[in-house]
Amino acid sequence: MILVVLDTNVLVSAFLKPAGLEASVLLLSLTGTLRPGVSEPILAEYEAVLYRPELKLGRQLVQKGLSDIRRVALLVHPPCRHGLPR
């Protein structure tokens, strides 16, 4: 299985265009062909962006999508580098 990090823009496009290529990548990630790697900061960014009012994504859709990602994702804890906080 290939570990991938889904860019937030890819995730937003997948939610906005369910028939697009980005949605296909998300589907591959949710069905086990790919495995998304996430950290808590990445999950927080996904949530903050997907709930933006201008995207007009339903709350239930976002909650379900984030829950699905958390269910299949590998939660990683990147090391602190160059004195930068995590």
Cα distance between residue 43 and residue 30, in whole Å: 15
CB 73 within 8 A of CB 31: no
pLDDT of residue 7: 97
3: region left, alpha or beta (phi > 0 left; psi from -120 to 50 alpha): beta
Per-residue pLDDT at 1: 84
Q: For position 85, what pLDDT does the model report? A: 57
Averaged over successive runs of 10 residues, the pLDDT of the chain (86 residues) comes to 95 97 97 96 97 97 97 90 60
